[in-house]
Amino acid sequence: MHTRPGIQPEAQPAAQITPPYAIGFETATEEATIDALPLTGTLPEWLTGTLIRTGPAQFDIDGEPYRHWFDGLAMLSRFSFQAGRVSYVNRFLASDSYQEAHEKGKISRGEFGTTARTSFWKRLRDPLPRPTDNANVNILPLGDRLVSTTEVPQPIVFNPDTLETLDKFPFDDRILGQTTTVHPHFDFDRQCLFNYLIAFGSPSKYNIYRMGFHNSRRELVASIPVKEPAYMHTFAMSDRYIILTEFPLRLNLLGLLTSGKPIIENYRWKTDRGTHFTVVDKSTGEVIKTCESEPFFAFHHVNAFEQGNELLIDLIAYPDGKIIDDLYLELLRTGRSGNAAGKLKRYCLNLNSGDAIGETLSDETIELPRIHYRQANAKPYQFVYGVGNQILNNFNDQLVKINANTGKTAFWSDENCYPGEPVFVSAPNASAEDEGILLSVVLDADRKQSFLLMLDAQSMSELARAEVPHVIPFQFHGQYFPSIHPAIDLSQVHR
C-alpha cells in the first residue's frame, strides 16, 4: 500500500523560469459585457447559439492563496453567436463561498486542495468541513434551469442571459450525500439524467439516482454500501447500465474527520485494491457484476457501450493518482507539473467472467474529452476530441481528435497558444458523426489575452477566432445551447 499525502516540497532549481502559460493561473480582475468581439475568419451561418463555461478565476483572498487549480473561485463566461457576430459576457459566480471570502477577507470554506480551518477545537466541534458551493467545474441544465456545479451537491442557478447568480438549486427530495459528480449522464430515451451521491458514514454509500429532465425530484435507483469510497470524478453509462469505476484512491474517513487537511489529501492510493468496475442495472438497481482490473486512475470517462455480453468502457487513464498532485498551483506556475493529460484507453468488461482487460487506443496524450454526445453516447462511436501535449511536459498546447476505432489522429496548434476543452457542436442535418465545429477557449500567451477558437471538426482546420480583451484563466467545462437565449428551451441541450 502507498500513501498519497498530497503535494510534497521539492528542491528549488537554481534559476526558475516562469512558463508562458502561467498567466492562465493568475487571478482575473475584469468583468465585461461586449456586444461584438473582434473576429477573424467567418462563422458558419447556422451557428446561432450560446456557449457558457465555468472555471476557477480568483486564486487568493487578500494574499491568502488557494493551493490547487481546482480551488479558485468560479467565474462564468458566455459567448453568443448571432448574425455573424460573437458577443461576450463574464461574471464571477456569487456563491456563498465567494461572498463570505470577500466579506471576511480570508478563505472561509475549504476547497478540494485548500483548507479553511486549522484549529483542533473547531474540528472537534464540527468534524466535517463546511461544504463549499464554489461551482467552478461544469455547466448543466437541471429542471429547466441552468446551473454551475462542483463536486459538492449544491448547484448554483444563474441567469443564462446576464450570468447573474440567482439561487441554490432546490432539489425536492431527501437523498443524502456529501460529494457528487459534475458529469451526470443524460438518457434521451428515458428522458432523465443519472448521477450519484456519496454519503459518508459507517458504512458509506454510493446513492445512484435518476431525475426527469423537467423535474427537481431525484429518485433513488440503488444504494451501494462501501467501506472506503473511491475518488471518482465521472462514471460511465451504457444503454442498460450505470458503471462506477472505483479506482484505488480511497477515502480515509477518520482522517477527514480529524486531520484538518483538505478533502483530497485524505484519500490514499492502495495499489492492492486494484480498480473495480461496478455494473448496475438502470431499471432495477441490481449490481449485475463487479469486474476488476489493474490499478489505474482517471478523471474523465469518454463513452461506454454494450457489445454482446461485454461492456466497453473508454476513458482517459493515468498509471496512478499522481496527476492530482501535479495540478497544485505551485507546480503549474513554475512548469514542474509535467503533462496534464493521459491516454485514451478502452476496458473490455466480460459480464460472465468478471474480467476487465484494457488496451491503449492511441499514444497521443489527451484530456477534457468530448464526443458528439447526443448521437454517440452509450453507442458504438468513432471520434473523441480533447486537449493534449505537443511539447513534452508542456501544459496543454494542442487540440487533438482521435478515431477510437483506428487510432488515427488530427491536431490543431499555434505557437504559445494553450487551448481549453473543445466543445463539439453538430451541424444541422449532419450525416456524419464528426460533421460540425469545435469551440475552444484558447490562451494566447504572447498577446496575454484569450480568444474563442472555432474549428471544422472533420478537418481540424481553423474557421474563425474571436478575441477577448483579457486573459480568461484556464477553465474546465461548459456547454453549447442551440438557442442564443438558452433560458427559452433547455431541452435543446447537446451535452
C-alpha cell at 411: 491536431
DSSP result, 90-159 = EEE---HHHHHHHHHTS--S--SS--S---HHHHHHS-SPPPP----SEEEEETTEEEEE-SSS--EEE-
Indicate the residue type of 234.
Answer: T
Alpha carbon distance 20, 414 (integer Å): 14
Alpha carbon distance 14, 133 (integer Å): 40
Beta bridge partners of 212: 192
Alpha carbon distance 467, 302 (integer Å): 30
Domain boundaries, the chain: 20-492
Main-chain phi, psi angles of 364, to 5 degrees: -75, 145
pLDDT tens across the length of the chain (495 residues): 333 333 333 434 444 678 999 999 999 999 999 999 999 999 999 999 999 999 999 999 999 999 999 999 999 999 999 999 999 999 999 999 999 999 999 998 999 999 986 555 555 555 555 789 999 999 999 998 999 999 999 999 999 999 999 999 999 999 999 999 999 999 999 999 999 999 999 999 999 999 999 999 999 999 999 999 999 999 999 999 999 999 999 999 998 888 889 999 999 999 998 999 999 999 999 999 999 999 999 999 999 999 999 999 999 999 999 999 999 999 999 988 877 899 999 999 999 999 999 999 999 999 999 999 999 999 999 999 999 999 887 899 999 999 999 999 999 999 999 999 999 999 999 999 999 999 999 999 999 999 999 999 999 999 999 999 999 999 999 999 998 777 655 544 544
Cis ω before 203 (30° cut-off from 0): yes
Q: Which of 450, 443, 388 is nearest to 417 (CA)?
A: 443
